[in-house]
Structure 1
Amino acid sequence: MAQTVNVNFRLDEDVKKKMEEACADMGLSMTAAFTIFAKKVGRERRIPFEVSADPFYSESNMRRLEKIAAEINAGTAKLIEHDLIEEE
């Protein structure tokens, strides 16, 4: 068996807590989960899940939201009521 090494990195406390809870629910330690991830990346030479940016934070949407916020702050926004949209 290959020699093991320690890997240290920083992680937001809330992210760590949620991952620990999820791992515990699956009967895994965080070390086991990261080991599974590392082995899969090494074997497949890719991130084993889709990595994409949330379109909400796209540059064009952020500009649109900043414009709307400026209009609201200036009192020039035209706000209208609409029905609540429920997701299934």
Structure 2
Amino acid sequence: MNKGKKKGQSHSTRPPVTVAPKWVQYSPEEIEMIIVELAKKGYTPSMIGIILRDQYGIPLTRPVLAVKLQKVLEKYGIT
């Protein structure tokens, strides 16, 4: 009997929070400029999200900016 279908189901899930965290010290305009600068350096959207999380302490851009990171890049003509 193969029980391979049960593997990988114990991962954590992100809570459905729509409010920006209180500890984020950057304004939405500052976050947009950081995103644009990182995109101009050649980072992909996934890498930009990781850098924002690890170096700037911004867990998610959507609650802070009310749009996805990809929409910010499209707004500035970077895709």
TM-score (norm 1): 0.27
Higher fraction of helix: 1
TM-score (norm 2): 0.29
For the pair shown, which has the larger CA radius of gyration, 1 or 2? 1
Which structure exhibits the higher relative contact order, with contacts defined as CA atoms closer than 8 Å and separated by 6 or more residues? 2
